Amino acid sequence: MKRFIEGLDRHQATLFPECLEDWIKEDNPVRVIDAFVDALNLGELGFTSVDPKTTGRPSYHPSILLKLYVYGYLNAVQSSRRLEREAGRNIELMWLTGRLVPDHKTISDFRKDNGVAIKKVCTQFIELCRKLDLLTKASVAIDGSKFKAVNNRDRNFTKNKVTRRRKQIEESVARYLHQLDSADRQVPTEALLKKQTRLNEKIAKLQEEMQRLDVLEQQMLNEQDEQISLTDPDSRSMATSGRGSGVVGYNVQTVVETENHLIVAHEVTNVGHDRYQLANMGKKAKAVLQTDKLDVVADRGYFSSIEILACKQADIIVTLPKPQTTNKAKEGVFVKADFRYSPDDDIYICPANEVLRFRSHKRERNGLKLRRYAAKGCNGDGPSCAGL
């Protein structure tokens, strides 16, 4: 293998450093994790097992598990089993935990039993960032992310899913009955009798599934959002950006400071859209940053006149695009965004700089009075503004 970079012989003896400290550089992020967790008063934050029991098998100190958990968060290692594997082979984690390798059940139980305390740790981290002057700019960005739950799609039921599943069962039963009718018209044989037995068993199972669907449908209708998940009851079916795709999980709202990109507030919801989260998350970020006014940037999924008004009343300045609700622009017609409103004169100006005048007739549609406007002097070759 000439002219290539060659590796060492696998049988070559290697003298490793005498201590793990030599493998961790001074600017390694794990040193920050170690110093931050060691400075916390875990007992006051509410962590369990801070004081060890006098009997029984010794347990891991909560600081060890918290360091492991924070390391996994910073390095995108969420799984308890993966954290267990990394603790046994990752030099950084060996240094951080003192070569301790907790099993995945211990790691999972730590997260489950100390959820409230871990939230308080996030608050302590924000306080540290404030002391370091990392949260001086009162400007944030809000967005939501879909997090998949442990609940499989087949264990989640909505109206459409129940209807679709019931239709599939009815079609399968009809197909099996047709096969039984065909078998009755044939000469009885041993193979035919076995086939009939199998078909009857399948029909019986489908009938049991139909009864199960009836029970699940009743439970589903009793829920406020008419949806249930059997494995993870709090998770919900949500649409994603891909066409025809979806996920059973949670919608995690995150507020990020725009200068240093630090997360200052978060909340887990099981509502699939972001429309009613703008004011709530904006107020949380404002309280964390301890500022009188706040600039918020969000995408069009947060657009809601009620939410924008609530933000204005809370001294939160919102910047977000308005969703396009009409396809008139593709038809060559001006839409409302093309018109300019003059608040002093209470009039609209069309793209041809003409004042819109009220067209005399009115008509009713869906119980609402609609007024048609037209602009004087807009009868050129360009798009018409009569569709406003």
User: Is a pLDDT exceeding 60 seen at residue 262?
Assistant: yes
Q: What integer best gives the mean pLDDT of the chain?
A: 85
pLDDT value, residue 17: 65
> In terms of pTM, does the model score above 0.85?
no
CA 246/CA 234 separation, integer angstroms: 16
Strand duo 139-148 + 156-157: pairing? unpaired
- CB of 120 closer than 8 Å to CB of 45: yes
pLDDT value, residue 356: 76
pLDDT in tens, 103-131: 999 999 999 999 999 989 988 998 899 88
- CB of 33 closer than 8 Å to CB of 61: no
Tell me the CA end-to-end span of the chain in Å, nearest whole number: 74
Between 21 and 370, residue with greater pLDDT:
21
User: Is a pLDDT exceeding 50 seen at residue 369?
Assistant: no
Q: How many residues does the chain have?
A: 388
pLDDT value, residue 16: 66
pLDDT value, residue 295: 95
| For the chain, percent of residues with pLDDT exceeding 90 | 53
CA-based nearest residue to 71, from 43, 110, 49, 97: 97
Strand duo 246-257 + 139-148: pairing? antiparallel
CA 69/CA 79 separation, integer angstroms: 10
Q: What residue ranges do the domains of the chain occupy?
A: 20-132, 159-226, 236-319, 328-375
Of 88-92, 240-244, 335-339, 359-363, minimum mean pLDDT range: 359-363
Of 159-168, 248-257, 337-346, minimum mean pLDDT range: 337-346
Q: Is 131 exposed, middle or buried (0-12, 13-18, 19+ CB in 10 A)?
A: exposed
User: Is a pLDDT exceeding 50 seen at residue 166?
Assistant: yes
Give per-residue burial for 185-213: e unless 16+ CB within 10 Å, then b.
eeeeeeeeeeeeeebeeeeeebeeeeeeb
CA 91 and chain centroid, separation: 32
pLDDT in tens, 305-322: 999 999 999 999 999 998
pLDDT value, residue 361: 45
pLDDT value, residue 387: 44
For the chain, what is the HEC assignment?
Answer: CCCCCCCCCCCCCCCCCCCHHHHCCCCCHHHHHHHHHHCCCHHHHCCCCCCCCCCCCCCCCHHHHHHHHHHHHHCCCCCHHHHHHHHHHCHHHHHHHCCCCCCHHHHHHHHHHCHHHHHHHHHHHHHHHHHCCCCCCCEEEEEEEEEECCCCHHHEECHHHHHHHHHHHHHHHHHHHHHHHHHHCCCCCHHHHHHHHHHHHHHHHHHHHHHHHHHHHHHHHHCCCCCEECCCCCCEEEECCCCCCEEEEEEEEEEEECCCCCEEEEEEECCCCCCCCHHHHHHHHHHHHCCCCEEEECCHHHCCHHHHHHHHHCCEEEECCCCCCCCHHHHCCCCHHHCEEECCCCEEECCCCCEEEEEEEEEEECCEEEEEEEECCCCCCCCCCCCC
Tokens of 284: 């949380």
CA 345/CA 342 separation, integer angstroms: 6
Of 64-68, 307-311, 353-357, minimum mean pLDDT range: 353-357
User: Is a pLDDT exceeding 80 seen at residue 81?
Assistant: yes
